[in-house]
Amino acid sequence: MRKTRFATALLAGTCLAISGAMLPAMADEPEGVDPAEVPEDRTVINWWFGLTGQLGETTMEMVDTFNNSQDEYFVVASYRGDYAETMNATVAAFRADRHPEMVQIYEVGTQTMMRSGVIYPVHELMADMGYEVDWDSYVQPVLGYYLTPDGDLLSMPFNSSTPIFYGNLDLMAEGGIDELPQTWDEVGEAAAALRDAGVECPFTTGWQSWVHLENYSAWHDIPFATQDNGYAGLDAEVVFNETQTADHIARLADWAQDGRFVYQGRGGDAHGAFMGGQCALYTNSSAYFGSINRDAEFAWTASELPHEAGQEPQNSIIGGATIWVLQGHDEEAYQGVAAFLDFVASTDNQAWWHQTTGYVPITVAAYERTLEEGYYEEHPAQEIALTQLTKNEPTANSRGIRLGNFVQIRDIINEELENIWSGAKSAEDGLNDAASRANEQLRRYEAQQ
């Protein structure tokens, strides 16, 4: 009996501990710069980010450029896992009072960050450190996502993209289609032709909630949630199950059943299938431009997102991440942060960043520079994201989406969309369930504030 009790106690301890240990972040040693390499006479500024692959390399290159451009500050950029892991590491580090000066946070974390009470708003920081920034010279649809109701900027836009429409020209030719369709009805016809011609995956998408619910709503100037998509108040409720967006999802559900739309998984998973030459038509982030441009082994094209026949598109909304500045550091460090952010926004850096990655430039000047250099004549696909974002003055429906527990809401939408695509639920039931579950998360968030 003693043995039994001991074993039970041990197991109990282990189980609770394993689950308990999930909470504090598994903070690894930062990757990147060896402390010995940091010049002694410089003020060190830490920046945690969450980009990998080509995007991660480009980010490190940008930091090197900054470090070599002056001799007062030294930015140590460290990769902290994907966006969710980076945010979690930041939370854990803040609780332990070991947080960095700057951190890159994804757009769905915006509400959490802005209401966290731990940030140093970028507009204040720049003013306090003596930088006069002409915020009007920024690309407004990018900035708008991160403004307070008073129009003050909270975090520095860094990597912003928007979904666009890609096509594999080689596959499209098999169905006798030589250019991307412009309306959703035409997409349906084209996908049917492709399917009938034997194309395995006529149409697919990455980031299904972002592209087909959030951006579809903005693109057609209809609300995703009440209270101006959450910008006007915490008591917002999602309404995508009651709008034209629901019809769009029902149509995609039909396509999923008849083989026109082939689901390839969550997040950006569909990119593998597109790059592998299986999918002909594909909606996903403009940030995949860098990868497609470099690695596609087929002729491809890109265009603006499809829209409904008879409706003029409004503008699309961004995704990606921004740089947040955290409280609790000294003035000297913040001087360095301001210098770095000033460098990030500089025309040279922005034009280079835009052309290397596929993210949109955050200033009008960087866009104009790229235009003047004739870059878009060679890479017309790179201009699509910008023309889409700036198509019209953003409305309350197309400015962005600001909801609490947005991470959970995206997950709920993913789950219910999968139930819809598989036929386990009708589009109507699936969206109603998604909406009621999302609203429950919103009420929960509101109650915690």
Partner 1 sequence: MLKRVLFRNRWLPYALLFPQLLITLFFFIWPASQALVQSFYATDPFGLSSRFVGFAEYTRLLADPLYHNAVLRTLVFTFFTTSLALAAGLFLAVYADRVIRGQNTYRTLLIWPYAVAPAVAGVLWLFLFHPTYGALALVIRQTGVNWNPLLNGTHAMTLVIVASAWKQVSYNFVFFLAGLQAIPRSLIEAAAIDGASTFRRFWTIVFPLLSPTLFFLIVINVVYSFFETFGVIHAVTRGGPGGATTILVYKVYADGFVGLDIGSSAAQSVILMALVIGLTMFQFRYLERRVQYN
For residues 259 and 147, what is the distance between their CA atoms, to the nearest angstrom? 42
**Strand ranges (DSSP E) for 94-251?**
102-106, 156-161, 163-168, 201-205
For residues 278 and 297, what is the distance between their CA atoms, to the nearest angstrom? 12
φ, ψ dihedrals at 269, nearest 5°: -55, -30
Binding mask 70-109 for partner 1 (x = CB under 8 A): --------------x--xx--x--xx--------------
φ, ψ dihedrals at 205, nearest 5°: -150, 155
Binding residue (CB under 8 A) for partner 1 from 176, 272, 328, 380? 272
Candidate segments 39-47, 61-69, 392-400, 409-417, binder of partner 1 by CB under 8 A:
409-417
Alpha helices in 50-207 (DSSP H): 53-69, 83-95, 110-114, 122-128, 140-144, 169-174, 184-196
Binding mask 428-447 for partner 1 (x = CB under 8 A): ---------x------x--x
Question: Which positions ≥6 away from 101 have C-beta within 8 Å?
Answer: 45, 46, 47, 325, 326, 329, 333, 334, 336, 337
Binding residue (CB under 8 A) for partner 1 from 208, 337, 421, 442? 421
Site for partner 1 in 167-206 (CB under 8 A): 201
| CB of 228 vs partner 1, minimal distance in Å | 24
Question: Which positions ≥6 away from 411 have C-beta within 8 Å?
Answer: none
The number of residues that bind partner 1 (CB under 8 A) is 54
Q: Give 87 or 341: the residue with its C-beta nearer to partner 1.
A: 87
| CB of 31 vs partner 1, minimal distance in Å | 18
Are 121 and 153 in contact by the 8 Å Cβ rule? The answer is: yes
Binding of residue 20 to partner 1 (CB under 8 A)? yes
Binding residue (CB under 8 A) for partner 1 from 263, 288, 352, 376? 263
Q: Enter the DSSP assignment of 270.
A: H
Candidate segments 61-69, 70-78, 231-239, 417-425, binder of partner 1 by CB under 8 A:
417-425
Binding of residue 328 to partner 1 (CB under 8 A)? no
Are 361 and 139 in contact by the 8 Å Cβ rule? The answer is: yes
Q: Give 116 or 356: the residue with its C-beta nearer to partner 1.
A: 116
| CB of 113 vs partner 1, minimal distance in Å | 9
| CB of 1 vs partner 1, minimal distance in Å | 10
Site for partner 1 in 24-43 (CB under 8 A): 24-25
Binding of residue 385 to partner 1 (CB under 8 A)? no
- Tokens representing 102 are 């700057």
For residues 142 and 345, what is the distance between their CA atoms, to the nearest angstrom? 13
For residues 236 and 32, what is the distance between their CA atoms, to the nearest angstrom? 41
Residues near partner 1 (CB under 8 A): 4, 7-8, 10-25, 84, 87-88, 91, 94-95, 112, 116-118, 201, 263-266, 272-273, 276, 278, 405, 407-408, 411, 414-416, 418-419, 421-422, 424, 437, 444, 447-448
